[in-house]
Amino acid sequence: MMMEEERRQIVETGKLLYDRKLVQMSGGNISIIDRKTGLVAIKPSGALYIHMEPEDIIIVDMDGNIVEGSRKPSIETFMHLGIYKSRPEIKAVVHCHPVHAVAWSLKHNHLPSVIAAQWALKGAVKVAPYEGAGTHALADSAVKAIGEDGYGCILQAHGVICGSPNDVFHACEMCYTIEDACQIAEICESTPGSEMFTIDRQLGEEGGYDGLEKLQRYAAEP
């Protein structure tokens, strides 16, 4: 069986996503790339996280052709491949459907830096304009929103997708960070009073954040 360790990690990550309520039943998808072979291990379409086993994972090439596996790969395979093609340093991609992030995307075009943990995502996170699930247009929208140096975005009326230069567990953690930040921002917006504080504004980067080193230093302050 090809990419056995990657298969095991995908199954483990799926259970983490399910336990943290970032996905429901079979929604969302996870992948890991082997940069040496150009092969990608990805969750099969419709697989329930609570029952998924390593042998269920599908291996595809960079064109989406099945190399190993008897099931259909995720409907969002091309979104994963688009990120891998545009960002050679990315090693794993996680896509999930967290409630607060989806709610935030219906009224906003980006998520400002409201928690220090967003330094891992390089601060503010863009909302990718809505496109149909499983389409090349959605893949293009996600790749554009993540950009040349970001690590995640919110898909409007859909979910969150993150790519990690480290591993699949880090990609999972970044998805949770976005959901956490969206929930906090929602609470602040619903509370009467002064304007919501953002780290972007505090550091003089209104409407976005490009200074990763500044944000890292800010996160490290006592």
Backbone angles phi, psi at 179, to 5 degrees: -60, -45
Rounded distance, CA 41 to CA 92, Å? 9
Q: State the helix-helix crossing angle for 136-146 and 77-86, rounded to 10 degrees.
A: 40
Could you say which of 76, 131, 173, 205 is catalytic? 76
Rounded distance, CA 188 to CA 183, Å? 9
* Residue listed under structure tokens 């992030």: 101
31 neighbors 93 (Cβ within 8 angstroms)? yes
The answer to whether residue 76 is catalytic is yes
> DSSP assignment, residue 111?
E
* Residue listed under structure tokens 């994963």: 80
Active centre residues (catalytic): 76
